[in-house]
Structure formats: structure tokens, C-alpha cells
Structure 1
């Protein structure tokens, strides 16, 4: 027995340990894949929950804004109904309450059945016989009534006008002179209704001779004697159903008074019946005519309807796919690591085999590969390099690398290789941004290349391998694209100038030619009206007056169109007054307040620059009106040193911004307004910065060099 032999027990134990190690390494890939899947899917679940919560919050905020707008709409409808009642009181003041047929004719002319008003009946309630200036608690007797419903006081007196709400409404109407609102509860067969009371005053007579030179002060509404009440009956169904028709997904409950009287309850929506669950609710109080209406608006807030569940499901699905990919990748990496650990030691001929494999990869590569030694002489020259440089490998191997480098770059290249050999650091990496290098073909032609370099040490010393790519066609395409982009920008600038000139010409022709003709036509119509006054009937006189009003409105329309095309004050008064006019016109049109901070000092802008700044502001305000749903816009124009800054910020719903300061709104694939702004800014070498986020408004800031906005005469 040899002393170096292992006992049989030790060999068995070594074999068992190797088997256990092999089994443990075989199980590692599955464990790594499972762990990777669980972690990735858990992260996707967290992201999905966060996005769903934010989505629900945004949906609830949108509902709150809609409910607030609903309150304003109801208030405007009540104001319109009050205006109709005031018109009826005006008729009573002229015709009196002793003309029932005239009253019926007046109310039928209003056409309550086809009108948008909620009024279903109009009447006049005189004071009780023999009572002068009765208290507001006395409803009086229904003297006149007409409309879609029967006279209210045909029922017992307890059924109409005697409630505490009606007494309070009449008292409010007498004290303030405005309409008082009362909610009448449902009777036996009659639904609840709203009543508007408006005091009808005794006409005041003016004495023939006034002893005092000073006129007597007018009596307050509470002091003036009144003869009764003009009354309007409002149907809650007609009041609230047209408002809800525009928003069919909302449910509305309306109550009034203390104790609360239910005036209206909308039918449950289809979504609430199909998917009952979470609901958004907003309660608002509307004070009108001395009464308070409680508006309880609600809508289905189920994540299935708001889109939160769909978004979360999409994120979870994407997370599951990504988690599966991570699991597969982790499994393959762990399996490769285990295979390397279990692989046997390479045999003596393994080095030759690896070298053969490496040479096979180098020869089949589509990139040109050149390997040089420490003296920078070529030792490997693959077929792709033969094609790029135009000579065979037999001619290239053994020659210096400088043969393929233009003479002006050879010294710099040698220093770079020496530095790389000493430090291992290089700025030349394929695919990374780097300056363009140049190579030299066998026929003496220079061409641009992109290259990366690596090094390795073997028994003979260091070897440097360069992988390079001919980028002649790519640079040609990039230069062509750059020239095309510049030509398109020049064409866009020229189109902007031509368009602005055409707008100016059309605006001038509208203002000068058409405006003067309309003015002359108005003068002729006025002269004709004066000449024929007294000689024509009232119908013809009214037609002439209508023609004069139509000419006036046409003149205003022509001036407005001309101002929209090209404001005259932009050419006459300058940029700042034109922006002030534009902001005021924007507020008048859309009801959005514009806070202005304009500080230009003594800076004078050239005509093209003033036009560009004005159009940028106009386009930005137009985008706010169309998309932002904002209530306030802050406009800032400042000149600071050698820079001019224009900033426009709104408090609207904002937008989703992608990298590169190029925002895209969720409901619009492209924003041509922003593209137009960018082109105008580019004409004067300015920069555009956009800051926005969902629910946090939209801000656009533009910066110019002041010299670019001034003409040569102004700058000098």
C-alpha cells in the first residue's frame, strides 16, 4: 500500500460533499428566479396602489369643481326666473290689476310651456279688502293668475301661503324690495313647489307744484306703500332637470328651510344601479331670496368608473410581465454561475481552443477590428477592416497603425494610446458621445469613424484592440437632416411673416374701407330717419331704428375682427399697451382674471419682435382658455440687464410632461400652439422652458437676448 493513497472512507466522504454541493448549486437558480419575481411584482403592486389613490383623488377634485359649477348654474336660473317676475310686475304697474284678459294675453305671450324658465304660473295677489299696507304675513287674495297650473288659493287657505316659509319670504320681499323665495311642501295631490314673491307698490303721484326747491327723498322699500304681491310658481322639476341633463352621471337632492322640505330628488343613475359602491358627495348651500337651498350632489366614485382600477390593473399586468422577465434573467444568470462553478478545469489544449473561438468571433464581426502591440504594429486585421480600409490583412499585418491615420492626427493618437496603456482610461467608447475621428484608406481617402479601444496583457506584453465603424453615411444623413431642419425653420419664419403681413393688410382694409362705408351708411340711414320723422308709420320708424342698430353692431363686429387680426395699437402705441388691451379683452371674453406685471423700462422693441411677443402672449392665453380650465393667469414681462423674460402661469389642471421640456396634454396628441410659440422664439434665438404637472397648473417661461429684440437703430 502506498502512503500517498487516500483511505476509502475519505474518498466516499469527498464524493458525498461534492454531490451535496452540486445539488445546492442546482437549486440556486430556481430560488433566485422566485425571489426576483416576488420583489418585482411587490414593487408593481405598490406603484399600482399609489397611482390608483392619486387617480381617485384627482377624480374627486374634478367632481367638486363640477358640483360648485352646478350651484352657480342653479343661482343663474333663479335670477332669470326673478327677472321674468319683475317683467310681470312692470306690466301690472302699467296696465293695472283690473284687466284679466290682458293678463292672460301677456302670460300666453311669454309661452311658459316652451320657455327655459322654471315658472309654471304668474299671478297677482291683492291685499285684503279695506287693508292699507298690510303686514307681510298677509298673503292677500289671488286677483290674477295665468300659466300651466291652476290658481294656488283654490285649495284651502292652509294649503297655500300660510306657511312660515311663505311669511318669511313676503317679509323679506317687503323689507328689501327684492323677490322672496319660499318652499311650499307637497300637499294632498300636489308636488312641492317654489314660490317667488315680489311686492307690487302703489304708484306714487307727483304734485303739480312743489313748494320746496329740493326734491323729496325717495322712500325705502320698507316705507313705500304696496298694493299686493306679484307671485311666480316654480316647478322644481323644470328648474333642476335641464341642469342635470348636461351631466347625466350626477345625482342631486335639494332641500329648503327648517324643517327641511324636500324639493327635488333625481332618479338613481344607471352606473349607481350597476356598480354600487363608493360615491363622491358634495353639499352646498345657496342663499337666494331670504331662503337657503341645500344642494346635495353625488356621483358614483367607484374605481371601475373613474379609471383607477383599470390603471392599477394595467400596472399590475405590466408588473407581472416585468417580474417574469426578471425571474427568467435571474434564473439564467444563476444557472450560468452554477455551470461555471461546476465546470471541470480546462484541459491542456483549452487555451488553443479559446484562441480559435476568439479568432472566429473576430473574423465574423461586422465591425472593423484591429489589434496592435506595444510598438503600435498591427497583429490582427479582420475582414471587416479589409473592406473599410481597402487592402488585405497580409498587407496590413506588421505595418504601423499610423498608416491608417491622417498625418495631422498621428501624434495625438500615439499620446492617447500611451496614456490609455498607463491609466486604462479612455474617452473613446463606441456609442457614446465623442468627437468625430478620421481614418485613412489605402487610396489616401479620409473618412469619419467611430472607435473604441481596449487592452489586454499576455506573455508577450500588452495588446491594444480597436473596434471602429465607418460613419460616413450617418454623418451625411445627419448633415442633410440638419440642413433640412434649418430650411424648414426658415420657411416657417417666412410663412409667419407673410401671414402677419396679410393679417395687417386685411385688418387695415376692414378698418379703413368697410368701416368707413358702414359709417357712411349709418349717416344716410340717420338722415333718412330724420327726414321721414312724422311722415311714416310707427312700424317703418321701428324698422329704420332697427337698421341703425344693426349697422352699429356690424361696425363693432368689424372693429373686433380687425383688432383680432392685427390690433391697431400694436403699431400706433407699441407692445405694452397692446398686451394690456389683449389681457382686458381676454378677461371680458372668458371671465379669467389676468394679473399683469410688465416692467420693460425704456427698452424699445423692433416691429417684428413686438409682433412676435404679442402673438406669443395671444397664443398662450388661447391655450389657457381652451385647455387649462383656469381661473387666474399671471403674465410677467421684464427686462433685466441684457435679457428679456416673458412668463405666463395659470392655475389650471396642468399637463403630463415628458423629458426634454416637451409637454403633451393627455387629451391632445399634439399642441400646435406650443409648436408655433417655439418657432417664434427660435426666430429671435430665445429659449423656452415649461413647468407643469397634473393639478398644479401650467407655466411657460421664454428668455431672449435684449439685443435680438431691438432693431439696429434702436440698439445703437
Structure 2
């Protein structure tokens, strides 16, 4: 007979011989549903993130393509400048010789001096063609055609059509377009001696020749009316472009991006030579874009394509990473739900085992407390020590046997004991579980067993048990940290002193250089201008004086005037002379006027110093603050209006610079987004030296406001500026 309270030998554990797996079916089903929901959510998130990053990659590709478009346009404009210089040479030769065109020898010498291999390298040859303004027949004149346009250099023509460059329909149309507009015209025509190239998609691409044509007129500037302009036409300067070199040099800036350029009517291949855009990749490019550039009356079709893995690597990695993380989260969530559901059916025996495990956890917790690196001291309601861990023994240099049972006052300096006792009593009355000690003073003072005082940081907690309240203090010795902070503060003060000295030295050096530029170099340039004017006047009175020499002297005088202006501008940027000679207010007026002239940004000013006489150092500081703030506006703000305020409030000089630009997001930064300079950091250092403060108010598309407050005592001295 079985003993009462013991299981019968025939009794079987539940679930052993019942329906197999019945106790696990519910938890497994709940875990599977949870895992599926979490994994499906992660897949959706991965797809959204991947799609967003692919859009970002496409935006990056478009930005890079736009930069290439700008580079192509810049290269073509450089070639245009070369044509304009050659046009000026032709006009000068015509006015000098009177026969209407330079000789082939003179043109040869001029082209040799240009060194076409370097300036710019995309121009293969440079020539000049004489032209008859209006065709001789009335029908041709009515249609706007030109008569023969004879290429007088190079002397053997271009090797294809002879010396008449207007033979082909494309070039003739470009000549008429240039003659009527007075601007550079582009001619794109096929090369008749080269076969077409077949692409992989069976599209034929014709190789082409590209010329730039610029009309040369007898009068400068050319007449406004088309008929008068055609009558004044002398000829055309002609530049043959090396399109392969031009586009290859631009494409080299984006080596991972394919470039395909075509132009003309019908479309002719300009770049790459014989390689269609589709042949640059084994498959379809990941990103592709076609732009149209208009130049010289022609439209260039520029196609960009890339399969650069760096553009999409982050999208692919992020999508895969989120999917993998979602899979792991699904497994973890499923496991958590399985455990939770299983625990709901836990038996009383399992609950007893849980209490046993709780006791083990408590033992582990005590072991952790004993091994903790922080000193832990527990007291009762009478503030007598009941626990003293090994870390506390090291900090206070006292064994736990000596400390336990002793009052906590033993480890507090006598002058702080009464305040500590009242603090613990008030803390016990609040019922707050945990609090950091010493809110009024971040560092407290402890007392070692040998009488040495040392700084500590501490927090206090309270719990209730069967014997009453227990207070636990966790503290750490911060002696070494305090020493390091003191050393850091001293080092920071030394660095600020060094910064102040460097600012002073820099201002003195700027002042010296500005004075030398303004007084020495400016006076020498003025004297040189006077001597040149005297020479020009003397030659002008001579009947035999050659006009080209007089024109060259006049040009030299204009160059000297420009140089004098540059010297004055550089000297003013270093340090305005009026800041030392006239004072701060005239210097600020000059700075604001110069800023508006340079950048076209409207400035609303309110400068009311209220009779304050600024010292030299104070005037320099205020001037540099406004100058640096305006520089930041010009570089980063994209603003159309700036408001400048300089007033006196409560014994402080307040300077405010506010714009209506794009502003900045997040916390206040040392500089606007994307900029790595030290502008605002320099302003903070200048203001800190004078005991002032700097505040910034900004938000995205809400503008940027810089406000500086400087005590008047720091910038208003007895030796004030006038």
C-alpha cells in the first residue's frame, strides 16, 4: 500500500502516456505566429530602407553627372576664349596694316606663341578664314547665305574640302549663324573618309568633326543690326576641337561612370571613339541618364551610365542586414513567447524550484556586491554599519570586522557629520528609492581610518525589510580624477592664454602687412602710373607716334589702375586702415557696404553704440566678429537679407547678426553643416577672452542668428579709439 502523500507506482506523469505533444502544441503555435509577424515586419522594413538608399544613390549619380555637364561646358568656354583672343589679333593686325587680314607668316607666329598643346589642349588647330559678307546673287542674299569663305591658315586647308570651309551644309549653316549673331557657332559634320561603327544594338554611329567658328568684324563692338553686322564682317576664326581628348579629360574625373556624347543632325558619335554606351557593361547599367547641352547653336546629347557597386553597396547591405536581424529577432521573439506561454502552466513544484533559484540568485547577488569595484556600505535606521564590502575596506583603509557595528560618522569629516545625518533622515522620509548624494556640490569628502580626507562621489538607496529600513551608499574614490580635472583646467587656461596671444600677434601682423601694402606698394604703383601717363602724353604730342604703342600704353595704365585697386582691396581685407584712423563705426559702414557690393545681399543695420568709446582691442574684436559672421552668411546661408544690430544693453555691448537663409538643424554647432572651418570657434575664443558670451538661434529654413554680449568694461578703455 502506498504511503499517503506519495504517488502510486501505477501513476504516470501527465503527458507521458496521454496525447503525445499536447502540452507543447499551444506554446509552439504562439511562438510560430509571433516569429512570422516579426519576420514579415522586418522584410517590409528592409524593403523600405533599401528603396530609400537606392533613391539616395540615384541622387548621388545625378549630382555627379551634373558636375560632368558643367566641366564640359567650362572646357568649351575655354576654347571660346582662345577664339576671342585670335579675333582680337586679327582686328589689331587689320588696323595696323590696313590690308584687312594678317599675313600667313604673322598668323603662323601668333599660333606658335599660343602653344596649342597646352592652352587649351582640346583645340587641335586654330585658323582664320576670310569671308565675303553677302553672297553676290540676290537669291543667295535673300536666303542669308555667304559667299566663299576662304581659309587662309592653315595654308593647305583642312585636308578634306580644300580652303573653302563653307562647302558642307553643316559648316555653312554654322557660318551664317555666327555671322548673324556675332557669337561663337559650333559646326558638327561627318568625317567622309571613315566608316560608321556598328553598336551591339545594331545602331550605327557616325564619326564626326567639330569646329568652333567666331566672326571677326571691322568695328568693335559689332553693329547691333544684322545687315550692318554682315556688312562689317571680315572673316572667321576657326578652331578644330579634339573631341576625344576633351571628353576623355572630363570623363577622367568620374572613372567609374561611362560617358557617351553625340551631336549633329542626324546624330553623330563624338565620344567615346567607336564604343557605344551599352558596350561598356556586360549587362544593363544600374543607373543611366541623358542630358542635352546647347552650345554654339548645336545640341549635344550626353549620356551617363554606371554600374558602380559602391553606389548600391549600402542599400544592398542594409536590406540584407535588416532582413537577417529580423530573422534573428523573429527567433528570439518566438522563443520568448514560447517560454512565456510555458510558464503560465508551471506547476507548484516548478514554482518551488523557482523560489530555490531566487535564493541562488540572491547568493549570486551578494557575491557580485563583494566583488564590486565600488565601495558599498549599508547602514540601519540608527546609521550603524551592517555591511562593508572589500572595496570599501580598500577605500577607507579599514577592515569589515572593525567597521561593522560602528556609526557611519567614523568615515565622515566632523564638519559634515551633522549635515549628513539630517540629509539621511530627510531622504528616509521622502520614500524615494534611490538618489545621488551631493546635488549642491558634485564632489563629497570622505575620511579614511588613518585620518586622511579624500574626494568621493556617492549615491544612496533605501529598502525595507523585516528589521526596518536599510540605507545603502555606493561610493567611489575620485582623487585621481580630480587631479586630472585640475590639470586639464590648468592646461585649458594655458591654451586660452596662448590663443589670446596668437590672436593679438595675428592682428598686429595683419596691420603691418596692410600698412606696407597701402603705403609702400600703393605709392610706388601711383608713381609708376604718373610716369606712364607722362610718357603717354609725350608720345601723343608727337605726330609720328604709332597708334598701337599709344593703345598699349593706355592699356598698361588701366592695368596699373586695376593693380592699385587690388592692392587696396587686399590691404582692406587684412585690416581696414579706417579702423585705426577713423574708428569702429566708419569701419563697420565700409564693411557692410563692401559686403552688399560683393554679394548683392541686402543689409538692414541698426548701429547705435550710444556714445561708447571703444579701445583698440575692443574695436578689433567687434569688427572681426561682424566680419566673420558675414563671411559665414556669404559662404553657407544662401540668404537674401541680413540684419546687423550693435547696441548697448545693461553695461554690455550686444552684437547680433541674423540672416534669412537655410539655417541649421540639431544642436548648436561650431559651424554650419558641411563646413569644416573654425569661424564660430574663433568668435567664441575672442568673446571668451573679454568675458562675454555667444548664443546661436537657428533651425532648418528658419535662418541663422548669432548674438554676442561683451561687457563694456572689457572694450571701453581710457585709451579709446577716436
- Shorter-chain TM-score bucket reads 0.7 to 0.9
Q: What is the Cα deviation at residue 150 of structure 1?
A: 1.0
2:312 is equivalent to residue 312 of structure 1? no
Structure 1 unmatched runs, 5+ = 204-217
- Distance (whole Å) between structure 1 residues aligned to residue 586 and residue 301 of structure 2: 46
2:289 is equivalent to residue 281 of structure 1? yes
- Residue pair 2:30, 2:334 contacting (<8 A) in 1 also: yes
2:56 equivalent among 28, 51, 54: 54
After alignment, is 324-333 or 451-460 more displaced? 324-333
- Distance (whole Å) between structure 2 residues aligned to residue 93 and residue 520 of structure 1: 32
- Residue pair 1:97, 1:144 contacting (<8 A) in 2 also: no
- Give the alignment's Cα RMSD to 1 decimal: 5.6
For residues 138-194 of structure 1, the C-alpha deviation after alignment (integer angstroms, 9 at most, x for no partner) is: 42234662127617996699x9357488368537735x6x24736363374495454
Q: Determine the structure 1 residue equivalent to 2:576.
A: 567
After alignment, is 533-542 or 641-650 more displaced? 533-542
Q: What is the Cα deviation at residue 230 of structure 1?
A: 0.7
Q: Determine the structure 2 residue equivalent to 1:208.
A: none
2:614 is equivalent to residue 611 of structure 1? no
Q: Determine the structure 2 residue equivalent to 1:207.
A: none
Q: Determine the structure 1 residue equivalent to 2:305.
A: 300
2:104 is equivalent to residue 109 of structure 1? no
1:467 equivalent among 470, 474, 486: 474
- Distance (whole Å) between structure 2 residues aligned to residue 148 and residue 424 of structure 1: 105
- Residue pair 2:390, 2:400 contacting (<8 A) in 1 also: yes
- Structure 1 residues 242 and 542: CA distance shift in structure 2, 3 A: same
For residues 471-496 of structure 1, the C-alpha deviation after alignment (integer angstroms, 9 at most, x for no partner) is: 22222322321232122112211211
Q: Determine the structure 2 residue equivalent to 1:676.
A: 682
For residues 183-237 of structure 1, the C-alpha deviation after alignment (integer angstroms, 9 at most, x for no partner) is: 363374495454636375699xxxxxxxxxxxxxx99552578376513334243
- Distance (whole Å) between structure 2 residues aligned to residue 565 and residue 606 of structure 1: 19
- Structure 1 residues 87 and 439: CA distance shift in structure 2, 3 A: same
Q: Determine the structure 1 residue equivalent to 2:270.
A: 264
For residues 636-674 of structure 1, the C-alpha deviation after alignment (integer angstroms, 9 at most, x for no partner) is: 4224774422246877xx99x8866356977x9x64455
Q: Determine the structure 1 residue equivalent to 2:508.
A: 501
- Distance (whole Å) between structure 2 residues aligned to residue 224 and residue 541 of structure 1: 28
Query: Which residues of 2 match residues 453-492 of structure 1 at below 5 A?
Result: 453-492=460-499
For residues 259-281 of structure 1, the C-alpha deviation after alignment (integer angstroms, 9 at most, x for no partner) is: 55648344459997147513443
- Distance (whole Å) between structure 2 residues aligned to residue 382 and residue 525 of structure 1: 94
2:223 is equivalent to residue 222 of structure 1? no
- Residue pair 2:94, 2:100 contacting (<8 A) in 1 also: no
Q: Determine the structure 2 residue equivalent to 1:245.
A: 249
Secondary structure (helix, strand or coil) at the match of 1:54 reads helix
Q: What is the Cα deviation at residue 331 of structure 1?
A: 9.6
Provide TM-score, normalisation by structure 2.
0.73
- Structure 1 residues 505 and 192: CA distance shift in structure 2, 3 A: closer
Q: What is the Cα deviation at residue 704 of structure 1?
A: 1.0
Q: Determine the structure 1 residue equivalent to 2:669.
A: 661
Q: What is the Cα deviation at residue 453 of structure 1?
A: 2.4
Q: What is the Cα deviation at residue 71 of structure 1?
A: 3.4
- Distance (whole Å) between structure 1 residues aligned to residue 83 and residue 449 of structure 2: 94
Secondary structure (helix, strand or coil) at the match of 1:235 reads strand
2:213 is equivalent to residue 196 of structure 1? yes
Q: What is the Cα deviation at residue 404 of structure 1?
A: 2.9
- Distance (whole Å) between structure 2 residues aligned to residue 672 and residue 506 of structure 1: 23
For residues 328-377 of structure 1, the C-alpha deviation after alignment (integer angstroms, 9 at most, x for no partner) is: 98799889988997967259999987776555444333222211122222
For residues 421-460 of structure 1, the C-alpha deviation after alignment (integer angstroms, 9 at most, x for no partner) is: 4544256249999833333334454433222223333322
For residues 557-616 of structure 1, the C-alpha deviation after alignment (integer angstroms, 9 at most, x for no partner) is: 65454334322133345556656766787899xx86545443334466654344334445
- Distance (whole Å) between structure 1 residues aligned to residue 103 and residue 404 of structure 2: 117
- Structure 1 residues 522 and 663: CA distance shift in structure 2, 3 A: closer
- Distance (whole Å) between structure 1 residues aligned to residue 551 and residue 127 of structure 2: 32
Q: What is the Cα deviation at residue 293 of structure 1?
A: 2.1
- Distance (whole Å) between structure 2 residues aligned to residue 608 and residue 326 of structure 1: 63
Q: Determine the structure 1 residue equivalent to 2:386.
A: 379
Q: What is the Cα deviation at residue 396 of structure 1?
A: 2.6
- Residue pair 2:693, 2:710 contacting (<8 A) in 1 also: no
- Distance (whole Å) between structure 1 residues aligned to residue 68 and residue 627 of structure 2: 28
- Distance (whole Å) between structure 2 residues aligned to residue 308 and residue 339 of structure 1: 49
2:236 equivalent among 218, 231, 242: 231
- Structure 1 residues 35 and 110: CA distance shift in structure 2, 3 A: same
Secondary structure (helix, strand or coil) at the match of 1:457 reads strand
After alignment, is 66-75 or 442-451 more displaced? 66-75
After alignment, is 323-332 or 406-415 more displaced? 323-332
2:258 is equivalent to residue 255 of structure 1? no
- Structure 1 residues 576 and 153: CA distance shift in structure 2, 3 A: farther
Structure 2 unmatched runs, 5+ = 195-207
Provide TM-score, normalisation by structure 1.
0.73
Q: What is the Cα deviation at residue 42 of structure 1?
A: 6.6
- Residue pair 1:136, 1:171 contacting (<8 A) in 2 also: no
- Structure 1 residues 433 and 407: CA distance shift in structure 2, 3 A: closer
After alignment, is 316-325 or 604-613 more displaced? 316-325
- Distance (whole Å) between structure 2 residues aligned to residue 431 and residue 417 of structure 1: 12
For residues 28-60 of structure 1, the C-alpha deviation after alignment (integer angstroms, 9 at most, x for no partner) is: 999799987886687566445433422432432
- Distance (whole Å) between structure 1 residues aligned to residue 357 and residue 233 of structure 2: 117
For residues 286-316 of structure 1, the C-alpha deviation after alignment (integer angstroms, 9 at most, x for no partner) is: 364xxx3213233234352xx3323235545
Query: Which residues of 2 match residues 501-520 of structure 1 at below 5 A?
Result: 501-516=508-523, 519=526
Secondary structure (helix, strand or coil) at the match of 1:371 reads strand
- Structure 1 residues 472 and 317: CA distance shift in structure 2, 3 A: farther
Q: Determine the structure 1 residue equivalent to 2:201.
A: none
2:652 is equivalent to residue 646 of structure 1? no
After alignment, is 33-42 or 442-451 more displaced? 33-42
After alignment, is 219-228 or 84-93 more displaced? 219-228
After alignment, is 348-357 or 609-618 more displaced? 348-357
- Structure 1 residues 495 and 648: CA distance shift in structure 2, 3 A: farther
- Distance (whole Å) between structure 2 residues aligned to residue 551 and residue 202 of structure 1: 27
Secondary structure (helix, strand or coil) at the match of 2:398 reads coil
